[in-house]
Amino acid sequence: PKLITPVNRQVRGWANDFDHGRSRPAFRAMNWFLQQRMVGHLKRRSQRPDRPPKGVTWYAHLYKQLGLVQL
């Protein structure tokens, strides 16, 4: 959760930069990139990697439980 706040601020800044014209493809690419990087970070961050609770996908864990902003 400490990492999510500055990442969300950065993502909102990207949204402001790319919000002109046909922005949906850029937002989709940024969402995918951010999700892959966050999952990779959480899996390798310590000796006990973070995992989503049983029955919850990484997507739901990142966006609904941890509060990551999606473009």
**Is residue 27 one of the residues assigned to a domain?**
yes
In terms of residue numbers, what domain contains 8? 4-65
The pTM for the full model equals 0.76
Cβ pair 50, 42 in contact under 8 A? yes
CA distance 65 to 16: 24
| pLDDT-based confidence at residue 59 (cuts at 50, 70, 90) | confident
**Is residue 21 one of the residues assigned to a domain?**
yes
pLDDT at 60 over 80: yes
* Residue at 46: amino acid letter: S
CA distance 56 to 8: 22
Domain count, the chain: 1
**Is residue 71 one of the residues assigned to a domain?**
no
Q: 17-27, pLDDT tens digit by residue? A: 877 878 888 88
Cβ pair 67, 1 in contact under 8 A? yes
Q: 2-51, pLDDT tens digit by residue? A: 888 999 999 898 888 877 878 888 889 989 999 999 899 888 877 878 88
Question: Residue 24: CA atoms inside 13 Å, Cβ hemisphere, count?
Answer: 0
pLDDT confidence of residue 36: 93
